[in-house]
Copies of this chain bind each other. A is one copy, B any other.
């Protein structure tokens, strides 16, 4: 490994304990941030990022809870302040209160139930405002969820140590998981290694050279290749030497999302157990008879194990060169 490492890319160099995966598969960092305070903006971000199922459940749940609370207010004010109560099939006061709450919250206001008491009129005036604002917030959230231009890049499950030109190379593949048009992609790949010094864990970073680090278009998959040549921090290392360094490959992808006209970023990290020694990716796209090209995004994971001893291939490879 070269003596001069990269400067800290912001991931920290000194740790007082053994750390695990740097970047989680969802692109977040394995860092717990405290003292941030439970800001309303964080709630917004939470609702922006939960799954659609959870989001819909939160909406329906919130709707029921909010109507329940207002129903209690109407009960306290007394539902004899409502006209039309006797026309209903039910005589359950809470049900009546919640029906009136429904009709007010959504600004339906059929009038079958209609406020006659002053306190109910005032509560209803504010509930309708609150209801309108709630739907506004829900609108904003929905729009925010749809228009969030986050790149959904699928990374191949494994990073391969594959034959490349006269030697070997580290290779992984990425593909666009969404139908957005991504363009002007660029990749930056770091190798993080760590060793224990005086009870502290010192992490070092090296940037890995790539055969191609920019592409103009991204309709297919992109195989990102780090050739293990003299410039590589892995050059001349045996597999066991590599394993001792506890390496992680940190990937940073940038691109331009043409559907949203915005720059998008994506992160990933591969740990040691995701490295496959001596394997080769299978082609991920093929041409049909009509001249169109077909790609299945799940095919980017597929690889073939190659023959030969898995052992010290890096070493051998370096000697070969």
The interface residues of chain B lying within 8 Å CB-to-CB of A44 are 146
Instruction: Check: A285 CB closer than 8 A to any chain B CB.
Output: yes
* A29-B219, A30-B291 known; A42+B178 contact, CB < 8 A: yes
The A37-64 residues at the B interface (CB cut-off 8 A) are 39-42, 44-45, 48, 52, 59-60, 63
The A92-121 residues at the B interface (CB cut-off 8 A) are 95, 98-99, 102-104, 106-118, 121
A9, A143, A216 — most chain B CB neighbours (10 Å) = A216
Instruction: Check: A125 CB closer than 8 A to any chain B CB.
Output: yes
Pairwise interchain contact B177-A12, C-beta atoms closer than 8 A:
no
Distance of A135 Cα from B63 Cα, bound (Å): 17
Q: Which of B11, B112, B116, B131 contacts A87 (CB 8 A)?
A: B116
A33, A99, A137 — most chain B CB neighbours (10 Å) = A33
Pairwise interchain contact A132-B106, C-beta atoms closer than 8 A:
yes
The interface residues of chain B lying within 8 Å CB-to-CB of A135 are 132-133, 136
Pairwise interchain contact A149-B261, C-beta atoms closer than 8 A:
yes
- Secondary structure call for the A interface: mixed
Nearest Cβ in chain B — how far from A267, in angstroms? 8
Q: Which of B40, B114, B201 contacts A111 (CB 8 A)?
A: B114
The A207-226 residues at the B interface (CB cut-off 8 A) are 212, 215-220, 222
Q: Which of the 9-residue segments A163-171, A237-245, A252-260 touches chain B?
A: A252-260
Instruction: Check: A89 CB closer than 8 A to any chain B CB.
Output: yes
Nearest Cβ in chain B — how far from A2, in angstroms? 19
Q: Which residue of B lies closest to A212 (CB)?
A: B7
Distance of A87 Cα from B85 Cα, bound (Å): 14
Distance of A265 Cα from B33 Cα, bound (Å): 21
Q: Which of B102, B185, B190, B288 contacts A128 (CB 8 A)?
A: B102
0 or 1 for each of A1-39: is its CB under 8 Å from B? (1 = yes):
000000111111011111110000001111111111001
Pairwise interchain contact A108-B124, C-beta atoms closer than 8 A:
yes
